[in-house]
């Protein structure tokens, strides 16, 4: 007997189509904008609109790139500077 409930156990949790990391970045972006624009009467509304635009951009990027691209980019950005050069030199030594 097949149960439909077990088909997606290996998928990561997503809320509104975004991962938890992406939603937390978006929430932090909203809080930062709301604090920066708090001197203005409509600052919170503008922060909300800009956050919604960011949400739409993240959905677009999420649909057109591989999954978890933000986590992969953050790991890549955290690599030491000379690592890519060292990998290239090692690759050249092994091809001889």
Domain residues for the domain of 58 are: 18-94
Q: How far apart are CA 9 and CA 14, in angstroms?
A: 13
Q: Give a yes or no: residue 7 inside a domain.
A: no
Question: Is the pTM higher than 0.75?
Answer: no
What is the reported pLDDT for 96? Answer: 46
Structure-block tokens of residue 36: 């920066």
Q: Give a yes or no: residue 29 inside a domain.
A: yes
Q: Give a yes or no: residue 74 inside a domain.
A: yes
Structure-block tokens of residue 17: 């189509």
Number of domains in the chain: 1
pLDDT mean values, one per 10 residues, the chain (96 residues): 62 74 88 89 90 88 74 75 59 50
Inter-residue contact 35 to 52 (CB < 8 Å) = no
Q: Give a yes or no: residue 10 inside a domain.
A: no
What is the reported pLDDT for 15? Answer: 73
What is the reported pLDDT for 82? Answer: 66
Q: Give a yes or no: residue 85 inside a domain.
A: yes
Q: Give a yes or no: residue 11 inside a domain.
A: no
């Amino acid at each position: 007997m097949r149960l439909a409930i077990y088909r997606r156990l290996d998928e990561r949790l997503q809320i509104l189509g975004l991962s938890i990391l992406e939603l937390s970045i978006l929430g932090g972006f909203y809080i930062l904008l709301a604090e920066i624009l708090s001197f203005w009467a409509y600052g919170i509304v503008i922060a909300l609109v800009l956050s919604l635009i960011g949400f739409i951009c993240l959905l677009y990027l999420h649909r057109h790139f591989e999954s978890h691209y933000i986590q992969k980019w953050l790991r890549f950005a955290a690599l030491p500077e000379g690592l890519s050069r060292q990998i290239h030199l090692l690759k050249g030594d092994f091809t001889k």
